[in-house]
Amino acid sequence: MRKSRFSEEQIIGILRKAEAGRAVKDLCRDHGVSQETFYRWRRKFGGMEVSDARRLKELDWRFGIFLRRSADFSRILGAPRGASARRA
């Protein structure tokens, strides 16, 4: 996955400027992002504090690890007996 150019702090700062009354079009032009990106950020980070955004990022990361491990276990448990021996 591609790394974002903006940190959570920067994204939330941009969203707060919009909440304060600044035009979305001007904000997007100043920061070099599309309006679609802005509204995606607002949907994901709207109403959050910086600490909440960091916690969300950490939980997403941990959930990804959980999904990868559960997929590995299901492959191991779902394989017929002796299947790994035949591959070798």
Number of folded domains that form the chain:
1
Per the structure, the complete domain to which residue 17 belongs is given by 8-79
Assess whether pLDDT exceeds 60 at residue 86.
Answer: no
Q: What is the DSSP string of 12-70?
A: HHHHHHHHTT--HHHHHHHHT--HHHHHHHHHHHTT--HHHHHHHHHHHHHHHHHHHHH
Residue 50 forms part of a structural domain: yes
Q: Is 8 exposed, middle or buried (0-12, 13-18, 19+ CB in 10 A)?
A: buried
Residue 61 forms part of a structural domain: yes
Query: Does the predicted TM-score (pTM) go above 0.85?
Result: no
Residue 18 forms part of a structural domain: yes
Residue 88 forms part of a structural domain: no
- Angle formed by the axes of helices 8-19 and 50-78, to 10°? 130
Residue 58 forms part of a structural domain: yes
Residue 87 forms part of a structural domain: no
Tell me: the pLDDT tens digits for 47-85?
888 888 888 888 888 998 888 888 887 777 776 655 555
Task: In whole angstroms, give the CA distance from residue 30 to residue 74.
Answer: 48
Residue 49 forms part of a structural domain: yes
**Mean pLDDT, range 21-43, rounded to an integer:** 94
